[in-house]
């Protein structure tokens, strides 16, 4: 081994250690966020009363995804709502151009979805502050999870580089 290859390996080990430190920090942040969200949910249950949470009063709406995730070269990202709508519009346009020769029955009177459509609302539409806080914390926890997974992918890539050399 040359001095250059030893220096490269040391640099790779250092980068891997920094990524591992970042991973541990993100993991601790996620644990704290989930703990806080759990506390907020407990607080909301206490404020609403436990009797509301029987099997019969459970929200039975069909669940729909509230966020979408995109993977780009090992980096995980949340797709923003406006980007999601653009992709849906592009898909719709491609279907229209594909079916341009056929008569298509398009239903333009789609019902406008409420901002709560497809979202699980165990505390009802008028949520308490604690329930709203829990929802916000869970949304930020999703971003933390994505950062955690991206960091984990980077660590695995560095490990592969180290074993390849």
Q: How far apart are CA 118 and CA 9, in angstroms?
A: 50
Q: What is the pTM of this model?
A: 0.67
Looking at per-residue pLDDT, the higher value among 159 and 4 belongs to 159
Looking at per-residue pLDDT, the higher value among 128 and 140 belongs to 140
pLDDT at 26 over 70: yes
Kindly write down the DSSP assignment for every residue of 37-83, as one continuous string: HHHHHHHHHHHH-GGGGSGGGS--SPP--S-EEEEETTEEEEEPHHH
Q: Is 110 helix (H, G, I), strand (E, B) or coil?
A: coil
Q: What tokens appear for 150 in the block? A: 């991206």
Q: How much is the average pLDDT of 40-60?
A: 67
Which residue is associated with the tokens 């923003």?
80
Q: What are phi and psi of 12, to 5 degrees?
A: -65, -40
Q: How much is the average pLDDT of 79-89?
A: 67
pLDDT at 149 over 90: yes
Looking at per-residue pLDDT, the higher value among 16 and 100 belongs to 16
Q: Is 119 helix (H, G, I), strand (E, B) or coil?
A: coil
pLDDT at 110 over 90: no
Residue 126: pLDDT band with limits 50, 70, 90: confident
Q: Where are the domains of the chain?
A: 1-50+126-164
């Amino acid at each position: 081994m040359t001095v250059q290859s030893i220096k490269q390996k040391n640099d790779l080990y250092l980068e891997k250690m920094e990524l591992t430190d970042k991973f541990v920090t993100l993991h601790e942040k996620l644990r704290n966020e989930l703990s806080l969200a759990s506390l907020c949910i407990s607080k909301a249950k206490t404020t609403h009363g436990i009797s509301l949470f029987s099997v019969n009063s459970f929200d039975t709406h069909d669940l729909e995804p509230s966020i979408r995730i995109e993977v780009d070269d090992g980096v995980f990202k949340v797709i923003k709502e406006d980007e999601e709508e653009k992709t849906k519009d592009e898909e719709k346009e491609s279907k229209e151009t594909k079916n341009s020769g056929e008569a298509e029955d398009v239903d333009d009177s789609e019902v406008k979805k409420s901002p709560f459509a497809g979202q699980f609302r165990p505390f009802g539409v008028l949520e308490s502050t604690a329930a709203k806080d829990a929802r916000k914390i869970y949304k930020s926890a999703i971003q933390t999870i994505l950062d955690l997974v991206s960091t984990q992918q980077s660590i695995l890539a560095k490990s592969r580089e180290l074993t390849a050399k």
